[in-house]
């Protein structure tokens, strides 16, 4: 029986996070998987100002961290038997934070060790190759090159997690999504890290 297992779905812009999460909602509609929506989307679609300055990013990322933590905690309490799948994880903030990791952790009263421990697994979906890059998302403002840079920053932010799985963009999008769903299925089956990494790299 699944008990308090939490997975962060992360990666660069246009990596397929939303597509994967929508697929999981349909495949596991019975309740085996519960999704935590992306905090940034909640805030920006709700009218939180998007200001491209130090102060703007500072306040936005602090708000995103707070909303994300509360929604994650609520999902875990409401559905203790479900696999909790999070649209992004707290350490994604380091890719956007304008002033280094230590000031961020000081501000939110945490540490990299505490944030890593919040997630049993991390699945990183690399930004799509340029021909497949999707710029139609209404809250996506990055160019393709900016997206690639963010992808690497996000990847670096999670590098210390002991159970991070990276799914690259060297295959077509449907194959990439199939690998990602197989990884989730393997987590539900309590497969170990070596087995799941092999699925992602196969």
Q: What is the pLDDT of residues 70-81, one digit of tens each?
A: 999 999 999 998
CATH of the domain at 62: 3.40.50.300
Q: What is the pLDDT of residues 115-141, one digit of tens each?
A: 999 999 999 999 887 666 666 666 666
Q: What is the pLDDT along the chain (202 residues), one digit of tens a residue?
A: 446 799 999 998 888 898 999 999 999 887 889 999 999 999 999 999 988 898 998 899 899 999 999 999 999 999 998 999 999 999 999 998 888 899 999 989 999 999 999 999 999 999 887 666 666 666 666 787 888 899 999 999 999 999 999 998 876 888 889 999 999 999 999 999 999 999 998 7
Number of domains in the chain: 1
CA distance 120 to 9: 11
Among the listed residues 118, 129, 126, 133, the one whose alpha carbon sits nearest the alpha carbon of residue 179: 126
User: CB 1: neighbour CB atoms within 10 A?
Assistant: 5
Residue 44 lies in domain: 5-201
Q: Is the pTM of this model over 0.85?
A: yes
140 to 9, 36, 40, 42: CA distances (angstroms):
17, 19, 11, 14
């Amino acid at each position: 029986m699944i008990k308090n297992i939490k997975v962060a779905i992360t990666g660069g812009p246009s990596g397929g996070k939303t597509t994967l999460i929508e697929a999981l909602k349909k495949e596991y509609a019975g309740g085996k998987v519960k999704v935590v929506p992306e905090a940034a989307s909640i805030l920006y679609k709700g009218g939180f100002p998007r200001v491209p300055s130090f102060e703007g990013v500072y306040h936005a990322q602090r708000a995103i961290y707070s909303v994300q933590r509360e929604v994650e905690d609520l999902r875990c309490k409401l559905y203790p038997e479900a696999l909790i799948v999070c649209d992004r994880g707290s350490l994604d903030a380091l890719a956007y934070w304008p002033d280094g990791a230590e000031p961020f952790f000081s501000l939110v009263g945490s540490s990299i060790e505490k944030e890593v421990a919040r997630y049993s697994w991390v699945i990183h979906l690399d930004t799509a190759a340029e021909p497949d890059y999707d710029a139609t998302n209404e809250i996506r403002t990055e160019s393709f090159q900016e997206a690639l840079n963010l992808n690497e920053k996000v990847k670096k932010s999670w590098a210390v997690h002991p159970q991070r799985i990276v799914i690259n963009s060297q295959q077509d999008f449907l194959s990439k999504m199939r690998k990602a769903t197989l990884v989730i299925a393997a987590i539900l089956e309590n497969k170990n890290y070596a087995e799941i990494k092999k699925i992602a790299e196969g």
